[in-house]
Amino acid sequence: GESVGLHLPTLSVQEGDNSIINCAYSNSASDYFIWYKQESGKGPQFIIDIRSNMDKRQGQRVTVLLNKTVKHLSLQIAATQPGDSAVYFCAENTGNQFYFGTGTSLTVIP
């Protein structure tokens, strides 16, 4: 099976600071990546995606960076807010299936 891992299982940041969540993937053939946010008791919610023909993609307060050379994905959240506290998952698509990482728990300290 695929292996999608996260460098840090937990991350605490001060409100207003920037957050960076990292993800390593194993299959160089993966061509599509998504970051999801999951709040307690809820289903995962789409944040941002990126395809393998891109290195960077920006959304509202979020940026995803893709480094295919080292098979690394990162999610940057600007000006982190208390509402950003959640578990963040990266997912890679290979063939017609997604493989999810184990998640990073982000805690925003007021």
Partner 1 sequence: NAGVTQTPKFQVLKTGQSMTLQCAQDMNHEYMSWYRQDPGMGLRLIHYSVGAGITDQGEVPNGYNVSRSTTEDFPLRLLSAAPSQTSVYFCASSTDWNTEAFFGQGTRLTVV
DSSP notation for 37-49 = EE-TTS--EEEEE
**What is the per-residue binding string for partner 1 in 34-73, x denoting contact by CB under 8 A?**
x-x----xxxxxx--x------------------------
Instruction: For residues 68 and 79, give the distance between their C-alpha atoms in angstroms, rounded to a whole number.
Output: 27
Cα 17 vs. chain centroid, distance in angstroms?
17
Query: Which residue lies nearer to partner 1 by CB, 14 or 28?
Result: 28
Question: What is the contact surface with partner 1 in residues (CB under 8 A)?
Answer: 1, 4, 31-32, 34, 36, 41-46, 49, 89, 91, 93, 96-103
